[in-house]
C-alpha cells in the first residue's frame, strides 16, 4: 500500500485541481464499498450516514477475532466508534496492525488498558470560566462547541465529552459572551468535537457572533474533517468560511497514507479561500512513531501546502496507554528532521503538561554547554559535530578592565546540557570535553588574551 502515498502526493504536487483517486485508494473503495456510486461516494451526507458505528457493521468489512468480540463491545459501550466509508477505504484489510485501522478501530489493547489513564489529562476543566471555554493562556482561548466528529480517534484527549448530547445553543452563546467581555482574548481556537460537523448555517451563526467581537483578531478552527470526510469541504462551505477572515484552520493528519487526492483537494479548496492550514499530528505508537513515517508525512503535507505545526506527545487519556511512546521517541524524530530536511518540515514537538500546565516544547539539546560568564557556548550541529561559540562578552578579557561591561543577568555561570539533561542532550551520547570541537569562533584566536579564563 505505500505506493498509494506516493501516487497521491506526487499528483498533488503537479495538478492540485482535480486529482483522480489513486489506484490503491480505488482498490480500497472497491474492496469495501463496491456498490457505492460515484455520486454517493462524493457526497459527504452519504459518507456521514454510512459511517461504521457498530461491531456488526464493522464485521461486514473487517474480521473480528471471536475472542475479542466481547472486549471490543465493552470498549464501545464506553467510547463510541465512527468510521466514514472514505476513511475505512484507506485501511489495508489484510494488515491487522494497519496504522489507519489502529486510529479508529477499538482493539484488544484498548480493553486491557481501559482503566488506565485520566479523564481530563490536560485539566481543561480546571481552567474553564464557562462550560466549553478553556482559558489557559493570556491572549487566547479554546472553545469546544461540539461533541461529535466525523471519525472517533481511539486516543482522543477529549473522549470524556463525546457521549454528551449536542452542545446547547445557550452554552455556545455563553462562550461567545465570555470572549466578548474578556478583552485580552485576541485569538480563539474553535474546536470540539469537530466544528465542521455542523451545518453551514449553524457554523456561520457562531462565526458571525465571534467576528462581531471587536478585540477578537484571529479565529482558528480545529478539524479532522479534511482527513476523515474531505467531501465535506465543498464550495458552499468554503464560500461561507471566507467571509470570516482572518480565519485559520488546524488540520490533523497523522500518517502519510491519509494524504490522498481527496484530502489534497479539500486542503486546496481551503487554501485557495485564503485559509492557512497548519497540521497538528499526535505521536502514536504503531501508527507514526518513526523518523521515516513523520518525515514522509511532513514532506507530503508540504506538497499540499500544509505547514507541519505541532507534533503532540500522546496524552495519558483513559484507554490510550498502548498509543503512548517515551518522550525520547519524539526527541529522536525531531532530531531526525532538523537539518536533515527543510526547516519548514519540522513541527514543534510538545508535551501537554498534566493538570493544565499547557504545551511544553521539547527538543533535542543542541546547546551542550553554556557558560554565560565566560561567554562560551558549546553547540552540536545536526551531524553531531561540536562547535565552540564565543559571545561578544568574551571581549571583556582582551580589553582594558575599565571598558568591560559585565553581562547583564549573570552573576554565576550556568551550564546547560549534558549534566542537567542527560536524555535531552542527544540521549546522553555527548561529553563535550571528550568530543573533538570541530569549529570555533574565529576571531578569538587572533590576538586572544592569554588571560582568558579556562572556565567551563
Is residue 298 part of the annotated active site? The answer reads: no
Determine if 317 is a binding residue for ligand PLP (CB under 6 A). Answer: no
353: part of which helix (H) or strand (E)? strand 348-353
Residues 371-400 that bind ligand PLP (CB under 6 A): none
Determine if 252 is a binding residue for ligand PLP (CB under 6 A). Answer: no
Long-range contacts of 180-183 (CB under 8 A, 24+ apart): 180/213, 182/135, 182/141, 183/215
Determine if 137 is a binding residue for ligand PLP (CB under 6 A). Answer: yes
Contact present, 164 and 146 (Cβ < 8 Å): no
State the catalytic residue, choosing from 51, 72, 114, 136: 136
Q: Walk across the sheet containing 247-251 and list its strands.
A: 133-137, 140-144, 187-191, 218-222, 247-251, 277-283, 307-313, 348-353, 358-361
Q: Looking at beta carbons only, is 7 or 191 nearer to ligand SF4?
A: 191
- Quick one: cell of 123? 485539566
Q: 3-class SS at 400?
A: coil
Determine if 140 is a binding residue for ligand PLP (CB under 6 A). Answer: yes
Residue 189 binds which of ligand SF4, ligand PLP, none (CB < 5-8 A, kind-dependent)? ligand PLP
Q: Could you tell me the smallest distance in angstroms from the CB atom of residue 195 to ligand PLP?
A: 15
Is residue 315 part of the annotated active site? The answer reads: yes
What's the distance, Cα to Cα, between the start and end of the chain in Å? 53
Q: At what angle do helices 291-303 and 327-337 cross, to 10 degrees?
A: 50
Is residue 403 part of the annotated active site? The answer reads: no
Backbone phi, then psi, for 255, in 5-degree steps? Answer: -140, 145
Determine if 189 is a binding residue for ligand PLP (CB under 6 A). Answer: yes
Q: Looking at beta carbons only, is 75 or 334 nearer to ligand PLP?
A: 334
State the catalytic residue, choosing from 51, 98, 114, 149: 149
Is residue 72 part of the annotated active site? The answer reads: no
Q: Could you tell me the smallest distance in angstroms from the CB atom of residue 77 to ligand PLP?
A: 29
Is residue 396 part of the annotated active site? The answer reads: no
Is residue 149 part of the annotated active site? The answer reads: yes
Interatomic CA distance for residues 224 and 250, integer angstroms: 8
Backbone phi, then psi, for 350, in 5-degree steps? Answer: -130, 145
Q: Looking at beta carbons only, is 224 or 265 nearer to ligand SF4?
A: 224
Half-sphere exposure of 28 (CA within 13 A, CB side): 26
Q: Could you tell me the smallest distance in angstroms from the CB atom of residue 1 to ligand PLP?
A: 32
Q: 3-class SS at 107?
A: coil
Residue 134 binds which of ligand PLP, ligand SF4, none (CB < 5-8 A, kind-dependent)? ligand PLP
Long-range contacts of 365-368 (CB under 8 A, 24+ apart): 365/416, 365/417, 365/421, 365/424, 365/425, 365/426, 367/416, 367/417, 368/416, 368/417, 368/418, 368/425, 368/430, 368/432
Is residue 78 part of the annotated active site? The answer reads: no
State the catalytic residue, choosing from 127, 137, 244, 389: 137
Q: Looking at beta carbons only, is 128 or 416 nearer to ligand PLP?
A: 128
Q: At what angle do helices 2-14 and 291-303 cross, to 10 degrees?
A: 30
Q: Could you tell me the smallest distance in angstroms from the CB atom of residue 214 to ligand PLP?
A: 21
Q: Looking at beta carbons only, is 207 or 379 nearer to ligand PLP?
A: 207
State the catalytic residue, choosing from 114, 158, 285, 380: 158
Interatomic CA distance for residues 270 and 281, integer angstroms: 19
Give residues with Cβ within 8 angstroms of 72, minimum separation 6.
55, 64, 106, 107, 108, 111
Query: Which of residues 51, 72, 102, 136 is near ligand PLP by CB under 6 A?
Result: 136
Contacts to ligand SF4 by CB under 6 A: 149, 152-153, 156, 158, 192-194, 224
Query: Which of residues 4, 50, 134, 148 is near ligand PLP by CB under 6 A?
Result: 134
Contact present, 62 and 95 (Cβ < 8 Å): no
Determine if 359 is a binding residue for ligand PLP (CB under 6 A). Answer: yes
Q: Looking at beta carbons only, is 312 or 323 nearer to ligand PLP?
A: 312
Is residue 338 part of the annotated active site? The answer reads: no
Q: Looking at beta carbons only, is 223 or 296 nearer to ligand SF4?
A: 223
Is residue 369 part of the annotated active site? The answer reads: no
State the catalytic residue, choosing from 194, 262, 268, 315: 315
Is residue 234 part of the annotated active site? The answer reads: no
Residue 224 binds which of ligand SF4, ligand PLP, none (CB < 5-8 A, kind-dependent)? ligand SF4
Catalytic residue ranges: 136-137, 140, 149, 153, 156, 158, 315, 352, 359
Binding site for ligand PLP (CB under 6 A): 134, 136-137, 140, 142, 189, 359
Amino acid at each position: 500500500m505505500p505506493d498509494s502515498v506516493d501516487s497521491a502526493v506526487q499528483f498533488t504536487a503537479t495538478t492540485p485541481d482535480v486529482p483522480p483517486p489513486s489506484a490503491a485508494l480505488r482498490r480500497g473503495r472497491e474492496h469495501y464499498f463496491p456498490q457505492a456510486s460515484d455520486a454517493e461516494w462524493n457526497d459527504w451526507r452519504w459518507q456521514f450516514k454510512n459511517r461504521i458505528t457498530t461491531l456488526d457493521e464493522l464485521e461486514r468489512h473487517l474480521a473480528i477475532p471471536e475472542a475479542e468480540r466481547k472486549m471490543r463491545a465493552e470498549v464501545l459501550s464506553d467510547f463510541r466508534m465512527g468510521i466514514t466509508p472514505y476513511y475505512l477505504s484507506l485501511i489495508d484489510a489484510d494488515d491487522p496492525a494497519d496504522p489507519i485501522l489502529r486510529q479508529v478501530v477499538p482493539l484488544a489493547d484498548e480493553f486491557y488498558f481501559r482503566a488506565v489513564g485520566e479523564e481530563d489529562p490536560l485539566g481543561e476543566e480546571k481552567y474553564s470560566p464557562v462550560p466549553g471555554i478553556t482559558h489557559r493562556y493570556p491572549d487566547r482561548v479554546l472553545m469546544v462547541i461540539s461533541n461529535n466528529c466525523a471519525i472517533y480517534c481511539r486516543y482522543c484527549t477529549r473522549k470524556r465529552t463525546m457521549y454528551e448530547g449536542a452542545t446547547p445553543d445557550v452554552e455556545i452563546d455563553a462562550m461567545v459572551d465570555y470572549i466578548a467581555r474578556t478583552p485580552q482574548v485576541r485569538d480563539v481556537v474553535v474546536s470540539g468535537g469537530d466544528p465542521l460537523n455542523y451545518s453551514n448555517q449553524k457554523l456561520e451563526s457562531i462565526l458571525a457572533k465571534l467576528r462581531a467581537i471587536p478585540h477578537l483578531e484571529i479565529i482558528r478552527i480545529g478539524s479532522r474533517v479534511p482527513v476523515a470526510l474531505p467531501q465535506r469541504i465543498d464550495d458552499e462551505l468554503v464560500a461561507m468560511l471566507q467571509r470570516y477572515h482572518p480565519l485559520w484552520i488546524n488540520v490533523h493528519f497523522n500518517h502519510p497514507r491519509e494524504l490522498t487526492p481527496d484530502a489534497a483537494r479539500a486542503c486546496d479548496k481551503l487554501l485557495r479561500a485564503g485559509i492557512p492550514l497548519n497540521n497538528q499530528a499526535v505521536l502514536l505508537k504503531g501508527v507514526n512513531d518513526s523518523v521515516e513515517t513523520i518525515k514522509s508525512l511532513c514532506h507530503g503535507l508540504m506538497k499540499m501546502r500544509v505547514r507541519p505545526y505541532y507534533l503532540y506527545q500522546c496524552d495519558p487519556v483513559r484507554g490510550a496507554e498502548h498509543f503512548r511512546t517515551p518522550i525520547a521517541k519524539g526527541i529522536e524524530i525531531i532530531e531526525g528532521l532538523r537539518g536533515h530536511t527543510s526547516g519548514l518540515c519540522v513541527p514543534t514537538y510538545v508535551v501537554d503538561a498534566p493538570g493544565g500546565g499547557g504545551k511544553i516544547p521539547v527538543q533535542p539539546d543542541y546547546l551542550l554547554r553554556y557558560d554565560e560568564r565566560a561567554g562560551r557556548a558549546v553547540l552540536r550541529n545536526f551531524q553531531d559535530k561540536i562547535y565552540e561559540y564565543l559571545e561578544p562578552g568574551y571581549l571583556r578579557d582582551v580589553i582594558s578592565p575599565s571598558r568591560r561591561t559585565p553581562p547583564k543577568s549573570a552573576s554565576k555561570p550556568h551550564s546547560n546540557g549534558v549534566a542537567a539533561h542527560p536524555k535531552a542532550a542527544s540521549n546522553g551520547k555527548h561529553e563535550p570535553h571528550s568530543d573533538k570541537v570541530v569549529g570555533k569562533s574565529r576571531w578569538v584566536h587572533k590576538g586572544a588574551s592569554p588571560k582568558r579564563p579556562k572556565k567551563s
